[in-house]
Amino acid sequence: MPQISSLILLLLAGSLSFIGCERHPYSQGEIIYKYNCANCHMDDGSGLAKLIPSLDKSRLTLSEPAKLVCLIRNGLPVNKLTGQEMPPNTILNEVELTNLINYLGSKYALKPQTVQAPEVKKMLAGCQTH
């Protein structure tokens, strides 16, 4: 029955192109990265010479969501060698942080762990503020 098999092919092609629209599962996190982090760490995470570290070198931090949450929230003080600091980000809410962390994890972590917003909320509460 040639008609039926071509109908199936048509349906299959249709559903494939539907999947193709979604570039990858963390596209929301990628946008958040571009707006909040890429001006220093660059679009591809390669950093800026000796001044801004490349994210490739921070795979450990990027594999530990609890550390990463606090790093983003609190930033890092001025590094005496480079004179650069990472400013605290107090704009991102727990849902945005969740998307960002899952995106970074999927891209850089050795063993990506996905987090959910309620967990991130708890992690935030556990960060020491200074």
31 binds ligand HEC (CB under 6 A): no
Residue 11 or residue 78: which is nearer to ligand HEC going by CB?
A: 78
Count the site residues for ligand HEC by CB under 6 A: 22
The H-or-E segment that residue 121 falls in is helix 117-126
Q: Which of 69, 72, 109, 123 binds ligand HEC (CB under 6 A)?
A: 72
Helix (H, G, I), strand (E, B) or coil at 9: helix
Tokens of 105: 């994890």
54 binds ligand HEC (CB under 6 A): no
Least gap, CB of 24 to ligand HEC (angstroms): 18
In 77-88, which positions are buried (b, 16+ CB within 10 angstroms) versus exposed (e)?
eeeeeeeeebee
Helix (H, G, I), strand (E, B) or coil at 76: strand
Tokens of 62: 């990027």
70 binds ligand HEC (CB under 6 A): no
CA 53, CA 129: separation in Å to the nearest integer? 23
Residue 82 or residue 116: which is nearer to ligand HEC going by CB?
A: 82
Q: Which of 8, 9, 11, 76 binds ligand HEC (CB under 6 A)?
A: 76
Q: Return the axis-axis angle of helices 65-74 and 117-126, rounded to nearest 10°.
A: 60
**Taking contact as CB under 6 A, which single stretch among the options 1-9, 16-24, 76-84, 113-121 is the one that binds ligand HEC?**
76-84
Q: Which residues sit at the interface with ligand HEC, rule CB under 6 A?
A: 36-37, 39-41, 52-53, 55, 58, 61-62, 71-72, 76, 79, 82, 84-87, 89, 104
